[in-house]
Amino acid sequence: RTPQQIATEVNAINLTISRLSKSLRGQWQIFFTNGQQWQQKDNISLRLKKGDNVQLIKGALGVVFLKKHNTHKRIKVKRLK
């Protein structure tokens, strides 16, 4: 890839939570207003509620993190839909 292609890549997006549910293991399943569904893949606790604005950030080796605005915590997530 050229440096121009790397510079134009999207590394983070901002989304709004439309619905939440928890699995039996206590991991979040997160539904966004744009129709995307993501599931938490680690055991870090993060308080989320409907209407929260969050940021999805690309990490190393294809990992995606979800970070709530105005906090320093982040959780590892995987896209379902």
Q: What is the pLDDT along the chain (81 residues), one digit of tens a residue?
A: 788 887 788 889 999 999 999 999 989 999 999 999 999 999 999 999 999 999 999 998 989 999 999 899 999 999 999
For the chain, the C-alpha Rg in angstroms (whole number) is 13
3-state helix, strand, coil in the chain (%, to 5): 10, 45, 45
End-to-end distance of the chain based on CA atoms, in angstroms?
28
Task: Judge contact between 70 and 24, C-beta under 8 A.
Answer: no
pLDDT at 4: 83
pLDDT at 6: 78
